[in-house]
Structure 1
Amino acid sequence: MIERAWMVRTSRGSVAIRDSIYAALGGNQGGWLRQGWGWHDGLDLRLIKAKRERGEPLGTDEQDAWRNSPMLGKDAGRGNDAIMVGDLVLLPNIPVNGQFSICEVTGDYQYGEPLADHGDFRHMLPVKRLGFPVANSHAMVPDTLRTRLKARNRIVRLHEFHGNLMALSKLSAKDAGTASSGVERVLSIAQSELQDTATEFADKLRAVFNNSLQAAEWEKAIAVGLEPLLREAEVIHTGGPKERGADLELRFPNPFDSERGWVVLIQVKDYKDKVEVEKAEQLEQAFTSRQQDDNYTDQIVEVMMVVTNAKPSEAMKEKLVALSKDYHIPFTFVEGEALMRAMAQGYLHNLNLFGSSPTT
């Protein structure tokens, strides 16, 4: 029998969400691994799979949910490259940042009711939690696994660490939560507190900005928030009469051709309620105007609409899927919650919480 393990990244949102996800795991009597990107009935992975098999285009929400497809196990259409009964699953930052939980899959995928008070997390696998939460910096956690914990992918193979996870699952509660040194323990606690601070700050920042910023001011505010998170990228504010459909350009260095960067185009919208399909024209203009410009040598790798307080209409979702197929790059929609989480982290860096001198 092949010993297999996975990392499933669930949520690093509020403390309440993480507490609820951990509680849902139950104990050694069994519970549920709950995954997000499942907030309405149409995001059941089985329905999305059937839609794909019929050759129908997927909306943005469905594409996001389909990244959970390994949870379908043998029904995922991926052969053995999916989460099966008996596999181990590591959940990073559950129940707190700087720790992970380990569980064993005991049954097949289900699409259930939303997690209480959160309206999401309906993708479910029956599991049995093994042992106690383990500190990332525990002496028994290999450096290679600790590095893998930083991966941003939603689902990551950890088959080579199956034996390590089994050993870690047998530790006592006291031993499992013990960092390998006093310094690392302090850093782990500090990281957890800073993440919680960032989440709370994002909520406050959103409320204040909604009441005080005019539409065009959001562009600069977002640029300031993103810049410290993108150390290797140049954040270029292009908004204004010559924006050509994009308010910001994120330009990343190309290691193969220093003269030809990789660019993400961003159109910023301060909207409420729904964003209708007509607004997709600006995204298409942002891409095509640069592609047709002989003096523009950078390679565009993604086009985004970032919206402060609205969701895409169904027609808008379908249009983004069509544009992605037509131009062979992602055309995506980023909603306010994800935007504010990123901005909050950037502003905390700009406010020098790490001890550097104040910016002016």
Structure 2
Amino acid sequence: MSKLRTKIEMSNLHHELKLNIFSRLPVRVLCICKCVCKEWLNTISNPHFLRLHLERSMSNRQLLLLNQTSHDDDDDRPRQQIVSFFSASLEGDLQFRTMGFVGGYIHLIPSGHGLICLVNKGNFYIFNPAMKKAIKLPKPKRSTCKGIDGGFGYIPSTNEYKLVHLYDENENEFAYSIKCEIFTVSDGNRSSSWKQIEAQCPFIVRGWGVMANNKFYWMVWEGCHPELKELIVSLDLKTETFAFVPHPHVNSHVEGNDMFLAEVQGRLCLMDTFAHPPVTHIWILKDPMKKIWEKHCTIDLTKLEGFYNEPIQIFVLGQQNDEIVIRIQQELNFFNIRSKVLRRSTANLSLQRETGLCLYTDTFFSLGR
């Protein structure tokens, strides 16, 4: 009787009020709601509603944690790798998700939006945490170097995800020839193969690429000994060409310090991963065309409770409302851009050294069959 009464009460609500209620529900709940009646199915499937739900989800991005049983890339045993995904709200509510891979480390490449990319033993997988769906992509080109370089990002204008794979085809260990292939995933469909582009990446890069303004950006591996102003390389997806991006002078840079790239609200940002003295600056690429940087904020790590005066490695996961989400060692922290307050998470997430972390957006994006 209570279910019937709820259905009757919902049917009497104004359409705009229904949209308001539905748009605040997670995807997994809405998938159940679509089965209740034809009216709900039509409402939730409407493109206008899908856009409204995505906008709401973008302002309430969730934290995804990846735990795994093995992190040895040399593990060739044909056994299943146990991987656990925890979709945690920033308040600490947890929901358990699992899927299996073969033995070896699972690399997590975030897109900053609804889907993430996972790499296991040279194979790429696309995963939608909200729908609990994953697909395995066709085998990429073999790289003569052991490392895997690439990037994964979302293009709102075309509603597509782009996966970039950089690989070395030079057999000489003292030389390199970095080629690039791209895989496209559309809503409900995906490419049947990788697309090879003509341009070569001018240098070996390090870390996963960061997408902002329809371009991927990487830090250049300093072992290549480029010019000091050429430590960032970009790939324009429209022209399929590589270019260098001059970067600002980083005051806290010390010997052995790695600069780090991240995406913050659709824009490229640069920071130090080791800060000493313990103040780190985050720069935003304000004008991508003129390559003009602007200091976004300054974070004083001495304000952290239990701070130790030593070089500290930090990673920016993204921005949630007015707070930048930062991983400092095994802790999750939040820096409020307006109040300049740095706080530590109260959620007991039990982070391990090998725990993967990223922010993602709840989405109906379909990976097809």
Place the TM-score, normalised by the shorter chain, in its bin: under 0.3
TM-score (norm 2): 0.25
Q: Name whichever structure is richer in helix by fraction.
A: 1
TM-score (norm 1): 0.26
Q: Name whichever structure is richer in strand by fraction.
A: 2
